[in-house]
Structure 1
Amino acid sequence: MNRRQLLFVGLLVLAASYLVASGSVDVTDDSTSYETPASDRLIQPEEGGSYLWPYTSRNRSPSDRTLAINLVIHGSDERVQQALVDETGLEWEETDPEEEEAEGETYEVDAEDETIEWDDAHGSTRYVYFDTSPHGGEGIWVTESYQLHTGSYLGSRHHIRAYTPTTDDWTAIQIHQEYWDWFRLRHTVTDIRDSQSMLEAEFLDQPYVEEVRREYHGTAGPRHDGWLSVIELATVGLLGVLGVLEKERLRTIRREAYDLLEWAHANVRGFVLVGALAGLFLGVRTAGLVLEATLPWINPKAFVAVLYPVLILGLPIVTIVLTQPLEAASRFLRLHHGASWLGRPLKPQPALLFTIVGLGMAFVVDFASLGISALPLELFLHRLGLLFALGLLAAGAARTDARGSVLFLAGLSGWAVGLAMPLLGYV
């Protein structure tokens, strides 16, 4: 083996070892090998509900066990996630403060004055096992429904992995503290119990929490004492349900309105294109009528000779100027610079649709103003062909690749054929 080959092999081994070390490549993953935990190791967070194997695993196997599940929150998936990240929007039903608390030992933890802010997190995939046989299902391995963290990825952080069974209203949570180790190129877990207590404290004395307790299940594992924190979220009363639905409806309306404004802002050129095409076509019709009325001694065909080139050349030119990106512009450069002030260039599909709408609307208004309510089939098909020819021209102009050139040529050819057909007597 010569020096160059040796260097190549060395670099390859070095890169592979770093990828495996960083977790980018998991050499132990065997997605086709599923193993079932022993039934006596499962717990049942809710009477009559699904069973949970109270650990996370690197793979779908109990032999790859990592950390113990250390908290379960009872409530719908949406309420649990909202309680973690934005509890201010939760609704609850008032309960009798003198009502006897449910049995179970409650652990007092000093709560921080400030609420912890949790953000979406990235982390390695970990699995948990649910046995849904009480609901007529089977045992399944699932990945986390979502991950949250507070802190920094490349520093130290508290990290949550949440697992939500589809058959029950509770969420299993594994929370731990970890730091980024630059030499291992991965996170190293430093604590579980304090993180568990910290998250548990977030729910103490909250009006939307019915009970906070701990249950001993003897779950073994590094830095874990076998106790599981259990949070019972307060039930939502009828008024609370109506309030939640109303807030959700308002959020949906605001989200849809925001999406509509975002879409309109992204397609400003499209609306300008609709107005420009309709205005040009109807402007030619109006100009012809005005010239004929004000200059009756001139043969109307003279006006046609002037206005027809404006129509057949103006429509494709306007389409190209308003749909072609500035970096792809060759001719009409000054017009392209002006169009760039209208916002982002159109994508091919919107360019096609806006072109068809603009010219199609002009056709409809033109026929309506002339008192024409029915068209011969061949005339209708001809106008339809012109619409799609100009639309293809717009879609091709909006692209800067070879496929855009094909669309552009197809549209331009279709436009030329459509104009020639009536002149040659085919329409």
Structure 2
Amino acid sequence: MRRSLVVAAALLALSALFVGGPSLLFSPATEDVAPDETEVTPRMTALEDSESEFWRFLSPAERFQQRSPLNVIVRGDTDDILRAMTEEADGEWEEMEAVEAEYEDNETVFQEQDFLEEHDRHATGIEWGDAHGTTRYAYVDPGTGEDAYWTTESAQLEDGDYYGQRYHIRLYESPHPDDQWVVMQGHTEHFDWFTLRHRVDGVEAAQTKIESDFMEHPRVDVEQDVRRVYLGNEGPSDANGWATVVDLTGMVVLPAGVGLAARKRSRSAGSAVSEQRDSERVSEHAPEAIDDHLTDVDRRRIAAAYDRIEAGHIILFFTILALFLGVRMGGLLFERRVGFMTPHMIAAALYPVIAVGIPVATYAIAGTLTRRLDAAIVAAGSLAVAIWLDYGLLGVDSLPVDVVFQRMLVVVALGLIAGGAAKRATRDSRFNDMLIAGITMWVVVLGGTLLGYF
């Protein structure tokens, strides 16, 4: 029992240091990212030359909960806006030629043709694709004596990967076509394999992306057609209360669609080269500097730790790493290559690898190891590394506190399973207190996560 408490304390220290510490240092507090569940009295927003109004938030139910702040407003015909964001120019060139003939004196039309040809027949690179996502409700008031009502999205668009990270947009059109507006809620999100749901990372990056793409459209005058207005809906996520307004009402909309770009963020080549050179200079001198500060006692301790390493430790570490990251890569592979699989089918196929495969593999491999503490530290450390690598691949740089806490618990639980499976822990019974505590903790944490308690 005493040894089990020592292992548990070591695992708590490891999870706090390598999962909780960095996360709590750089991540926002829960209240900064969690939506406000309190119902409020709606404050409606009206646009110029429009009788209808809309509430500045979306809600997961037909209640006034300030959940998802609207952050983009596009003035123009709804069909033209959706066509511009989703359709390729391919197959429309004969119609474009007819438009050119009709507007043969309009230099702007020919400028757009040149622009499309240079960008593979898209105004800014690629078109947004149809998206799947949970329904969110917008509250609109027709403003003509009719009652205000809740409405669902007119469309959902995305750029990115469902099982990775993506830009996600929900669009809501005005109650009257003559009002000519579409409001959007754009955000970045990633798929969380522990909850089997998307987790929103923020709204500012998506708003900036949509705004920038419209600004690159050859028919948009940046100074006249794009501006920001204050809606006062800051609070949820990283929303600052300002919404982008794009005016397309004065444009001649060609039949050929115009896509919005969603280019991947990249680091400059010069910066990468500079960092590489710096790291090379550091690596040249690091061994000598470290060795100079080591005492004989330090060297003996390092040698003793090295002697404790078994082949099973390495196998255990990389097995957990491969299983965890393999689920992420497998989801992306199925999404891109296996067209008949729905999102629910993919989740059903891969989630058991996390829920069952990782603890079972950990138990089997740790059973070949001798020391409980070593097995526990290797398993917990491997899962912690896998979690950080996963977030690094997705580009996630902030986590709410509840997510950090959940990740710390699963790291500790897996470490207890590994420690309880080691040879010295199973001398009296294979079902020892450490193993039972680890399995119970793993089941409770994963079950609570799926049910929304974490």
TM over 0.5, shorter chain: no
TM-score band, normalised by shorter chain? 0.3 to 0.5
Q: Give me the TM-score of the superposition, normalised by structure 1.
A: 0.40
